[in-house]
Amino acid sequence: MTDLAPVHRALLSVSDKTGLVELGQALSDRGVELLSTGGSAKALRDAGLVVKDVADVTGFPEMMDGRVKTLHPGVHGGLLGLRDNDQHMAAMTAHGIKPIDLLVVNLYPFEETVAKDADYDTCIENIDIGGPAMIRAAAKNHAFVNVVVDVEDYQPLLDELAANDGQTTYAFRQRLALTAYARTGAYDAAVSSWMADALNEQAPRRRAVAGKLAQTLRYGENPHQNAAFYVDGSNRPGVATATQLQGKELSYNNINDTDAAFELVSEFLPQDGPACAIIKHANPCGVARGETLKDAYMRAFDCDRTSAFGGIIALNSTLDGETAEEICNIFTEVVIAPGAHQDAKDIFAKKKNLRLLTTPGLANPAESGLMLRQVSGGYLVQDKDNGRLDLSDLKVVTKRAPTDQELADMLFAWRVAKHVKSNAIVYVKDGATVGVGAGQMSRVDSCRIAARKSQDMAEALGLAAPLTRGSVVASDAFFPFADGLLTAAEAGATAVIQPGGSMRDDEVIAAADEAGLAMVMTGMRHFRH
């Protein structure tokens, strides 16, 4: 094997025809013989290029609706034959097999077909067989063969040929092979994941996951950690599909926190009014509705102004100039919203480091999906927490029933608590968080921290009393003892929403009755570890 390998003969068979004609023309100009099939061959011929049909190589016509066309020794022998192996070359000569030096294949659009909610039979028809087989063969023989599976590699290939007088280097072919195997791996993962869903197989024997590189990152959570961002092709509105309009590149922590912020604000539909969520270290430090978007932002900001500094802001409706002006009064890392008015863009343009991301809409909080978490030696897989309740799902368990305002605030608090790290405690008053306690080992401590934050803000804002007075409180899981509930009551909470299900529920209910609290149970838990 030599480092440089010439390209004399190329097979081009692509589903995505982007850039195909230009590539074919450039190869033809270098004297490369073009082989092709079906629509790819037609596109090349329509551009005036000389193309040889694969059927002329195999001696068989395309058949079975195109299912059988390249699965033949004339193709695979040309891809797999070792050029420096005398026996291989003798076999190729004996059977009239010519080497294929370049394979350009992109696969049937299976992922796109699934994304369109196509029926089972249509999805099955869009599973490529010949393409992956050829890709794997060419990638295995990268000592001599180039395999291109992505349109974005067309120009690097042409640059490589230009730099080496119609040849490619071994290192280049290695990189192409790596990309090729990753592509077939991702394709198989998409097929197997779809089939598991189609068959309602919740725990298939083997689970494959894949992603496509969106961007490399300067580092991970810390400077000594390498990191990159991959997308899974699901096209869910959020950080993975957003358009960045300005600001420096997102960091690992920015992406993680922006995802948390947008998933939270998507709980609140714009038709029910503007909403804003401010996130710091993947936890909400303020969430609120308002009469206007600016009002929603200010109310969220007033929950914990200290933590909001350097945070992530997510909005449930189009960013306007008035809100943008207010946001610019403090340092903010990222703002994400389903659109932005031009005046808002102009205002943000003065803050060059402030990232502005826009999405095509909100995420659907009720949509199903999978969540993965790595552990040593494997990973955990679970359904995405798409649990969502409305007022009719709440069960009043105390002597005093909550008022309509308390009920509205409890439901608001419950939707926020779903996005707070356990143990989670959320105080809400009039559609805005007024205290958030997150991630403590003791639920009592979460209650105390949330109340203390509210007290600190009351002092900062010159209020006579903390806003927890007259608030409602949500707990992401049951109160195992009455002490957490009583701590919330001491902070001024008048109503409680919690899952229930503790062995001491009766004790907790009795404590609520004694304190004059209204309490509802959801029957649903929202642990977020």
Q: What is the pLDDT of residue 21?
A: 92
Judgement on whether residues 351 and 407 belong to the same structural domain of the protein? no
For residue 529, tell me if it sits in a domain. no
182 and 221, same structural domain? no
For 391-450, give the secondary structure using H, E and C.
Answer: HHHCEECCCCCCCHHHHHHHHHHHHHHCCCCCCCEEEECCCEEEEEECCCCCHHHHHHHH
Residues 11 and 154 in one domain: yes
Last residue of a domain, one of 154, 175, 198: 198
Buried b (16+ CB within 10 A) or exposed e, 263-301: bbbbbbebeebbbbbbbbebbbbbbbbbeebbbbbbbbb
Is 246 in the same domain as 277?
yes
Instruction: Determine the pLDDT at residue 33.
Output: 93
Percent of the chain at pLDDT exceeding 70: 98
pLDDT, mean of residues 288-299: 96
Verify whether residue 351 is a known catalytic residue.
Answer: no
Residue that wins the pLDDT comparison between 53 and 79: 79
- Residue 374: inside a domain: no
- Picking from 528, 404, 440, 398, the residue whose alpha carbon sits closest to that of residue 476 is 528
430: domain range? 386-521
Q: Is 354 left (phi over 0), alpha (psi -120 to 50) or beta?
A: beta
- Tell me what pLDDT residue 96 has: 83
pLDDT tens digit sequence for 17-30: 999 999 999 999 99
Question: Helix (H, G, I), strand (E, B), or coil: what is residue 275?
Answer: strand
The C-alpha atoms of residue 57 and residue 523 are separated, in whole angstroms, by 66
The predicted structure's pLDDT at residue 66? 67
- Checking if the pLDDT of 407 tops 90, the result is yes
Distance of CA 353 to the CA centre of its chain: 24
Do 150 and 231 share a domain, yes or no? no
Q: How far is CA 447 from the centre of its chain?
A: 32
Give yes or no for a cis peptide into 423 (omega within 30° of 0).
yes
SS (H, E, C) 319-385: ECHHHHHHHCCCCEEEEEECCECHHHHHHHCCCCCCEEEECCCCCCCCCCCEEEEEECCEEEEEECC
pLDDT of residue 41: 87
Is the pLDDT confidence value at 257 over 70?
yes
Read off the pLDDT of residues 215-246 as tens digits, 9 standing for 90 and up. Answer: 999 899 999 999 999 998 888 999 999 999 99
The predicted model gives 8-16 an average pLDDT of: 91
Count of structural domains within the chain: 3
205 occurs within a structural domain:
no
Distance of CA 148 to the CA centre of its chain: 26
Across 304-332, average pLDDT: 95
128-156 burial, b for 16+ CB within 10 Å, e for fewer?
Answer: bebbbbbbbbbbebbebbbbbbebebbee
Q: Is 526 an annotated catalytic residue? A: no
- Give the model's confidence band at 73: pLDDT under 50 very low, under 70 low, under 90 confident, else very high: confident
Bridge-partner residues for 378, per DSSP? Answer: 375
The residue from 17, 52, 140, 345 that is catalytic is 140
**Same-domain status, 183 and 273:** no
- Identify the CA nearest to 322 among candidates 359, 360, 259, 274: 274
Same domain, 417 and 461: yes
Q: What is the token pair recorded at 157? A: 């290939």
Task: State the helix-helix crossing angle for 20-29 and 154-163, rounded to 10 degrees.
Answer: 10
| Shared domain check, 31 and 57 | yes
* Tally of CA atoms within 13 A in the half-sphere of 451 that contains its CB: 20
Q: Is residue 204 part of a domain?
A: no
Cβ atoms < 10 Å from Cβ of 225: 10
Is residue 1 scored above 70 in pLDDT? no
Region 75-87: what's the mean pLDDT?
Answer: 85
Same domain as 166, residue 266? no
Cα 123 from Cα 109, distance rounded (Å): 9
pLDDT band at 2 (very low <50, low <70, confident <90, very high): low
In a domain, 99, yes or no: yes
Structure tokens at 204: 């298939």
42 to 11, 49, 52, 132: CA distances (angstroms): 14, 10, 11, 22
Domain C-terminal end among 198, 221, 240: 198
Q: What pLDDT score was predicted for residue 324?
A: 96
Q: Is residue 377 assigned to a domain? A: no
**Pairing label, strands 102-106, 146-148:** parallel
Same domain for 229 and 352: yes
Q: What is the pLDDT of residue 357?
A: 97
Report, as an integer, the average pLDDT of 313-339: 96
DSSP string of 169-189, one letter each residue:
-HHHHHHHHHHHHHHHHHHHH
Q: Any idea of the CA torsion for 132, 134, 136, 138, to the nearest 10 degrees?
A: -150
Co-location of 11 and 111 in the same domain: yes
Per-residue pLDDT of 137-172, as tens digits, reads 999 999 999 999 999 999 999 999 999 999 999 999
Rg (CA), the chain: 30
Tell me the pLDDT band of 130, cut-offs 50, 70 and 90: confident
CATH code of 182's domain: 3.40.50.1380
CATH of the domain at 488: 3.40.140.20
Q: How far is the C-alpha of 120 from the C-alpha of 314, rounded, in Å? A: 37
Query: pLDDT tens across 357-404, in order?
Result: 999 999 999 998 888 888 999 989 898 999 999 899 999 999 999 999
Contacting residues for 155 by C-beta, under 8 A, at least 6 apart: none
Residue 367 lies in a domain: no
Q: For 332-367, give one letter per residue: b (16+ CB within 10 A) or e.
A: bbbbbbbebeeebbebbeebeebbbbbbeebbebee
> What's the pLDDT tens digit per position in 473-492?
999 998 888 888 888 888 88
Dist CA 429 CA 493 (whole Å): 9
Which of 198, 225, 241 lies at the terminal end of a domain, its last residue?
A: 198
Confidence of residue 112 (pLDDT cuts 50, 70, 90): confident
Question: Would the pLDDT of 310 be above 90?
Answer: yes
Strands 332-337 and 311-315, bridge-based pairing: parallel
Asked whether residue 401 is domain-assigned, the answer is yes
Q: Calculate what percentage of the chain has a pLDDT beyond 90.
A: 64
Non-local CB neighbours of 41 within 8 Å, separated by 6+ positions: 51, 53
Report which of 334, 336, 301 is spatially closest to residue 317, judged by C-alpha positions.
Answer: 336
Q: Identity (one letter) of the amino acid at 48? A: G
Which position among 17, 52, 281, 351 bears the catalytic label?
281
The residue behind tokens 């291989």 is 88
Say yes or no: 412 and 460 in one domain: yes
The contacts of residue 246 (CB under 8 Å, 6+ apart) are 345, 348, 349, 352, 354, 355, 356
